[in-house]
Amino acid sequence: FTDGAADTTVGTEKKACPADAAQSCYWVTITRVVPINLVRLVGFNGDADLSGGGRGQTVSSLAIASSKFDPSTFCILALASGGASVTGIETKGGGGTPFAGCRLGTNGKASCNQRQGADSVNASNKPSGCTGTGSADDAKDKVNSSPLEDPYIGLKDKIPPNPCTSYSETKLNAGSTIALSSLPKTYCGNVSLKGDVSISGNGVIIIYNGTLNLSGNKLTSGVGSGVTIIFAGSNPSKTVVPNGKGTLDIAAPKSGDWSGVAIYTDPTNKTLYSYTENGGNSISWNVSGLIYMPYATTTFNGDVNRATNGLDCFALVVDTFRSNGGVKLLEHQSACAEAGLTPPKGGIAQRQALVQ
């Protein structure tokens, strides 16, 4: 059908899909004035004039199609704010397949000096050596046709306004419990553990302009408990993720605004900061849910496991990710639906498919 010919109008538009507002669809509407002849004998005169004379009836049809993507999701997404020339994912050394069952994605380069066993890798260039054990596995590696999106940046609008007027360190004594409720548990300044601390209930902990220092201790969410720890504030140098040697053993909430999110750092502060996880020499990450640090240049050298009281669900969003050989992912995304998290997605459109 040609727009403007034979009493035909063809309209095309790219907008949200009818069943998924987060995905774009191609909408095509074809409208034609069809000639009517014998039906006029019974008094039906149609609704429009034909361009060549006579009367006709307007008939319209709508077709909607969408791009179908690889259904896999990323367990590690490195946004690489520095651009496509930056190395977003780099792994060095280490035997075995530490990233088995994990799909890696970055808006920068990806480089692995040894096969890491990842399911596949999306990067700004053709990745090297990150997937299986043979050259045939390189076919799993893909070059991004467009930047991978940050699906969690909009959560920043759900962070409450900063109520703090002053900042001082809060010390949590050994054996104490942080009881969560529908109202956020707010701390102004640094939070330090003086012993093992537990979390009960479901809700949000917000630390404004401060750090969480485990000080060699353990912070644990209890059975049936879900917590999102948010780092926010106007001072980028102090708005950082947990530090100090110890164990962070938490599971994210399974519902609500922060469903599936265990750690969230406010992306409003765009200053890059470095973060290193050295296993037993720093924080041990036993986390079920999303760890969101979009401006962290990270180095992981220790294992990542699920929470004691959590499900098998893990996603890490950072600026850049590096492993020096000691890291191993001991959890994957087999239970993310139950855990309330939609992991980051991306990939190259494989085909167009009619959806309506």
pLDDT in tens, 296-329: 998 888 788 999 999 999 999 999 999 877 677 8
Q: How many CA atoms lie within 13 A of 78 on its CB side?
A: 31
Q: Which has the higher per-residue pLDDT, 69 or 101?
A: 101
Task: Give the whole-angstrom CA distance, residue 179 versus residue 201.
Answer: 6
Query: Residue 70 pLDDT > 70, yes or no?
Result: no
Q: Average pLDDT, stretch 91-97?
A: 69
Instruction: Note the pLDDT of residue 163.
Output: 95
Helices (H) and strands (E) in the chain, counts: 1, 26
pLDDT at 205: 97
The answer to whether the predicted template modeling score (pTM) of the entire model surpasses 0.85 is: no
Residue 118, pLDDT score: 75
Please report the pLDDT score of residue 142 as a whole number.
Answer: 78
Residue 137: pLDDT above 90?
A: no
Instruction: Please name the residue ranges forming H helices in the chain.
Output: 336-339
Neighbours of 208 (CB within 10 A): 23
Please count the CA atoms within 13 angstroms of the CA of 347 that sit on its side-chain side: 19
Check residue 257 and give its pLDDT.
95
112-128 pLDDT, tens digit each: 776 667 777 888 887 76
The model's pLDDT over 164-179, given as tens digits with 9 standing for 90+, comes to 999 999 999 999 999 9
Nearest to 191 by CA among 163, 212, 167: 212
- 206-242 per-position pLDDT tens digit: 999 998 999 889 999 999 999 999 999 876 555 556 6
Looking at residue 124, its pLDDT comes to 87
The more confidently predicted of residues 99 and 258 is 258
Q: Which of 204, 242, 249, 257 is nearest to 223 (CA)?
A: 249
pLDDT at 110 > cutoff 80:
yes
Local confidence band at 277 (pLDDT 50, 70, 90 cut-offs): confident
- For 86-117, the three-class secondary structure string (H helix, E strand, C coil) is CEEEEECCCCCCCCECCEEEECCEEEECCCCC
Residue 97 has pLDDT above 80, yes or no: no
Position 139 pLDDT exceeds 80 = no
Inter-residue contact 127 to 145 (CB < 8 Å): no
Query: How far is residue 320's CA from residue 285's CA, in Å, rounded to a whole number?
Result: 18
